[in-house]
């Protein structure tokens, strides 16, 4: 009986140690897959929002948090308030035209990154960091470049 308890205890301890090693290996893999900042490249993230918009307020913690997290890592966030700034609203309309967002489907919050856009706080909160990492690896163009080269925009 004592032998069985010792064997069970050994298996339990080995299982815990194995899990800890697997978790540490996964953490190390995640660290090595992180994109290093580039001195020659800046990723531009364009964030259009409304000052009193409840949906923009729901996206703001994610946007602000990622802005802080990626500071000094080759990512530059550009904030454009559209409800009280006519020039920002006009810029949004120009980008939306190029990106194929129909006038009836436009709203804030919206992020333009690479040739794509994320509209609604749900999509921003769920996908923005993934898009940032993909664009850092791919060295995506500035979304404003779509204004002079429409082939950059990939409407979804």
Better-predicted residue by pLDDT, 50 or 17: 50
> Domain spanning 43-152 has what CATH number?
3.40.30.10
Q: Are 59 and 125 in contact (CB under 8 A)?
A: yes
Please determine, for residue 15, whether its predicted confidence score (pLDDT) is greater than 80. no
The rounded percent of the chain whose pLDDT value lies above 70 is 71
Better-predicted residue by pLDDT, 36 or 140: 140
Domains of the chain by residue range? 43-152
Q: How confident is the model at residue 39 (pLDDT cuts 50, 70, 90)?
A: low
CA-only gyration radius of the chain, Å: 22
Instruction: Please report the pLDDT score of residue 21 as a whole number.
Output: 38
Instruction: Please report the pLDDT score of residue 149 as a whole number.
Output: 80
What mean pLDDT value characterizes the chain? Answer: 81
Q: Pairing state of beta strands 110-113 and 75-81? A: unpaired
Neighbours of 123 (CB within 10 A): 16
Q: Are 119 and 54 in contact (CB under 8 A)?
A: no
The rounded percent of the chain whose pLDDT value lies above 90 is 63
Please determine, for residue 148, whether its predicted confidence score (pLDDT) is greater than 80. yes
Rounded Cα–Cα distance for residues 46 and 115 (Å): 11
Q: How confident is the model at residue 40 (pLDDT cuts 50, 70, 90)?
A: confident
Please determine, for residue 32, whether its predicted confidence score (pLDDT) is greater than 50. no
Q: What is the DSSP string of the chain?
A: -HHHHHHHHHHHHHHHHHHHHHHHHHHHHHHHTSPPP-TT--EEEEEEE-TT-HHHHHHHHHHHHHHHHTTTTTEEEEEEE-SS-HHHHHHHHHHHHHHT--GGG--SSEEEETTEEEESHHHHHHHHHHHHHHHHHHTPPPGGGGGT-GGG----
Least confident of 32-36, 72-76, 82-86, 125-129: 32-36
């Amino acid at each position: 009986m004592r032998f069985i308890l010792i064997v069970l205890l050994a298996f339990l301890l080995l299982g815990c140690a194995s899990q800890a090693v697997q978790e540490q290996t996964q953490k190390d893999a995640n660290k090595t897959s992180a994109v290093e900042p580039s001195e020659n490249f800046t990723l531009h993230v364009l964030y259009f929002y409304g000052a009193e918009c409840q949906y923009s307020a729901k996206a703001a913690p994610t946007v602000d948090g990622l802005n802080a997290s990626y500071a000094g890592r080759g990512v530059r966030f550009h904030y454009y308030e559209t409800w009280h700034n006519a020039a920002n609203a006009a810029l949004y309309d120009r980008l939306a035209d190029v990106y194929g967002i129909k006038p009836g489907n436009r709203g804030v919050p919206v992020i333009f990154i690479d040739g794509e856009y994320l509209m609604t706080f749900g999509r921003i909160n769920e996908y923005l960091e993934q898009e940032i990492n993909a664009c850092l690896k791919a060295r995506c163009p500035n979304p404003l470049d779509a204004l002079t080269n429409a082939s950059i925009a990939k409407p979804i």
